[in-house]
A and B are shown apart, each in its own frame.
Chain A
Amino acid sequence: MRSLLLTLLLIPMSLLAQEKLPAVVIKSIAGKEINTETFYNSDVPLVISFWATWCKPCLQELDAFNDLTETWKKETPARIIAISIDDSRTAAGIKKTAGLHDWSFEVFWDQNQDLKRALNISLIPHTLVIDKKGVIIKRYTAYVPGNEENILAILKTL
């Protein structure tokens, strides 16, 4: 009986260890819809960072990613994706902010925070490192300088 209970508990726990990026429709900055499923069909690791135009540590993190773009390109095929959670108050600033910071990576918009909610994210910045199969292998729940180098070290192993 005890082993049966243990097995029953271990089944969902094994699922917890294999958290994947959920398939949710988000938008490009212009408003074109895209399903996040297409992200992990590209057979490369992903770094997905949730940010907003008013979030200073988010901008700092994305600038750090941007500064390292050339280094990253040499060492990993990983794709960097920045997903804004700005609502209609500040959404007009997404394109402006991406332009002002001259980010070289892709920027998308989680208009009503469907993806953020599906991933149970409560605070931003929140960064995910995802392997080629779409499995989330690392979450960063805040930005501290140096995260970008730790992420690169993980990506090199994927």
Chain B
Amino acid sequence: MRVLLSSVLLSLSFSGFTQGKSFFKESKLNGSLETSNQYYLDNKRGNILAPEKRFASNTYLTANYQYKGFRAGIQFEGYNPALQGFPTRYEGNKLVRRFVRYTNKKIDVHLGNFFEQFGNGLIFRAFEERSLGLDNNIDGLGIRFTPVKSLKIKAIAGRPRTFMERSPGEVMGGDIEWSPLNRESDGKTQLLQLGASYVKRFMRYYGADPNFPQQVNAFAARFNGEYNAINFSGEWVHKSIEANFQNDYIKKKGLILFLKAGWQDPTNRMGAQVQFRRLENADYKGNFNSSDAVASINYTPALTRQHTNLLANIYPHAIQSIGEIGGMVDFFIRFKKNTPLGGKYGTRVDLNYSNYHALDSIRVTTGAGFISKRTLAFGKTKFFRDFNLIIDKRWTKNYKTLATLINLFYNRTILQGGPFGEVRATLVVTDHYIKIKKKNQLRINAEHMWVNGDEQNWAGLLTEWSFPNGLSLFASDMTNYQSYKMHYYNVGFALSKNKQRIQLSAGQQRAGLLCVGGICRFVPSYNGFSLNYTLNL
């Protein structure tokens, strides 16, 4: 690995070598290797056949170099073939990213493949989430210009990545952010930021419709602020008519409205936050013919609690970017140590509630597909509701628990697309962390979910033993014991040592929406072995 990285950067290093020792002192070089491999077996009980190619592998190799304000980097990816659940258009081996970049105090110029975000990402976000097969980096030119401290200007132009290629659509845009107030003293912040963005997408249309919108223009305005204990932000996005595969080529303008307000006690004893978001034809595509989420150039994730339990992820919200309205409320309270409710070590209570509905709209026979006259009204169709109560409590120096209660409503008909009905579920999770001999830890996660509908009740158990030498052993099982009585088990180990980490597991992945890093993707059932390895250099 080192030799490979060394070879890639040899020419850069050699030219610098002649400039003396300062070159080495100022040079920064790093790289990484990440590989995920799976071997699939047939699952006769579940009638799931392994794919024809039983072995699949995703590999990512990166190298970054920095010398003062100059940077360069590459990323190589190999899919031989891609893991199940990844789009099959990820295939073969290719150098998918290469860039050079120059940065000083006022300007930052990026040439090649780069990532960028305007505001909250609702109008534009180029980002990478490997575990979900998402990478929409822009191949082109990106500039950030800071003429004065309170003003920041960004400009981008290029083509977003679509799988192993570039999208046929061109993206161009700019963003300006002004901070008229920016004060911090005695731990108190007074901040106000105002921003505006413009993003254009152009993609040539070769069909028969003379009015097809080849060019789409999007505008956004936003604010973000904090005044001592209070914080607030909001963003409004307007998009001209966009027709694409995912919205059935309706000719409709897009609108996104996002508002957030929060308050937090300066001593962190209590806090509350409210978020509201409305989406209407909100998905902004880099390629209007793409059927996959990877081609989006904006980012509108589900604003719900990101669950990390075994069973709660069976029913995650999948946003309906064509039309959705709702929000999330958060509240926390922390009971101090040595108080009746806090006990010897303190107690944390965390409440979260989210609720999403369809827009209040009517279908029309014109090209717009539907119209929504009352912008802030909730439609009758409920998509998703989620209530969470989490109590985090340390009982002794060596024993801690995390108790979670979740009550959710999940509209399968809408969120999974089919006549599946609705699901109401209540989930109880207890996490136990037990320290043994100071550095060994046993973690037990026990879950039960009462489900009205679908596959009925579930039970789950996960145990993990961690050792101070970086080794973890784990085993888990989840079963729908009232219906199919299938067991989705997983056993394995992980070892972290210095800059390396290896994980080997064997088991069966449940079919469903897999949510990692805030986005969901459908993953089919599989049965087999999984080996993951990462190395940082």
CB pair A99–B271 under 8 Å, yes or no, is yes
Query: Does residue A156 face the partner (Cβ distance < 8 Å to B)?
Result: no
A146 in contact with B115 (CB, 8 Å): no
* Contact of B93 with A by CB under 8 A: no
B175 at the interface (CB under 8 A from A): no
Judged by DSSP, the binding face of B is strand
CB-CB under 8 A from A55, the residues of chain B are 308
Q: Is the CB of A12 within 8 A of B13?
A: yes
Q: Decide yes or no: A8 and B10 within 8 Å by CB, A16-B2, A117-B128, A144-B441 being known contacts.
A: yes
The answer to whether B268 and A102 touch across the interface, beta carbons within 8 angstroms, is: yes
Q: How far is the CB of B431 from chain A (nearest CB, A)?
A: 8
B5 within 8 A of A: yes
Contact residues of B with A, CB < 8 Å?
2-3, 5-7, 9-10, 13-14, 17, 24, 27-32, 34, 60, 62, 64, 66, 71, 103, 115-117, 120-122, 125, 127-128, 130, 152, 179, 182, 184, 189, 191, 193, 224, 226, 231, 233, 260, 262, 264-265, 268, 271, 273, 275, 299, 301-303, 306-308, 328, 330, 332, 334, 346, 348, 350, 392, 431, 433, 435, 438-441, 466-468, 470-472, 494, 496, 498-501, 517-519, 534, 536-537
Q: Are the CB atoms of A95 and B262 closer together than 8 Å?
A: yes
Contact between chains at B191 and A93 (CB < 8 Å): no
Give the distance in Å from the alpha carbon of A93 to the alpha carbon of B120 in the complex: 14
A120-B31 contact in complex given A32-B189, A96-B271, A141-B501, C-beta closer than 8 Å:
yes
Contact: A96 with B499, CB < 8 Å? no
Whether a CB of chain B sits under 8 angstroms from the CB of A89 is: yes
CB-CB under 8 A for A88 and B231, given A99-B264, A144-B468, A145-B468? no
Q: Please give, as numbers and ranges, the residues of chain B lying within 8 Å of A96 by CB-CB distance.
A: 262, 264, 271, 273, 330, 332, 350
- Given A111-B117, A122-B130, A142-B501, verify A22-B28 contact (CB < 8 Å): yes
The CA of A57 and the CA of B128, in the complex, are separated in Å by 22
Interface residues of A, Cβ cutoff 8 Å to B: 8-9, 11-16, 18-23, 28, 30-33, 52-56, 60, 86-90, 92-93, 95-96, 98-102, 111-114, 117-123, 138-142, 144-146, 149
CB <8 Å contact, B536 and A30: no
With A32-B182, A96-B271 as known contacts, state yes or no: A146 contacts B332, CB within 8 Å. Answer: no
Q: Which residues from A are CB-within-8-Å of B66?
A: 20, 22-23, 118
**Selected contact of A13 from candidates B2, B64, B468, B500, CB within 8 Å:** B2
Known: A113-B128, A144-B468. 5 other contacts (CB 8 A): A11-B14, A54-B306, A100-B334, A113-B115, A120-B31
- Pick the residue among A8, A33, A56, A90 that contacts B14 (CB under 8 A): A8
A77 to chain B, nearest CB (A): 20
How many Å lie between the Cα of A98 and that of B268 in the bound state?
8
Q: Which residues of A contact B60 (CB under 8 A)?
A: 122
List, sorted by A's number, 9 A–B pairs whose CB atoms are closer than 8 Å: A8-B13, A18-B24, A28-B189, A87-B301, A88-B299, A117-B115, A119-B536, A121-B32, A141-B496
A30 CB to closest chain B CB, in angstroms?
4
**Pair A15/B308 contact, Cβ less than 8 Å:** no
Q: For residue B262, which residues in chain A have a CB less than 8 angstroms away from its CB?
A: 92, 95-96
Q: How far is the CB of A100 from chain B (nearest CB, A)?
A: 5
The listed residue (B3, B435, B440) touching A9 by CB distance below 8 A is: B3
Q: Which residues of B contact A114 (CB under 8 A)?
A: 115
Residues in A whose Cβ lies below 8 Å from that of B224 = 31
With contacts A15-B24, A99-B268 taken as known, whether A89 is within 8 angstroms of B30 at the C-beta atoms is no
Docked complex Cα distance between A78 and B440 (Å): 26
Contact of B534 among A8, A18, A117, A123 (CB under 8 A): A123
The 3 nearest A-B residue pairs measured at CB: A89-B518, A120-B32, A146-B439
Cα A132 to Cα B296 in complex, Å, equals 42
Chain A nearest CB from B278 CB (Å) reads 15
| Contact residues in B for A146 (Cβ distance below 8 Å) | 438-439, 468
Chain A neighbourhood of B308, CB < 8 A: 54-56
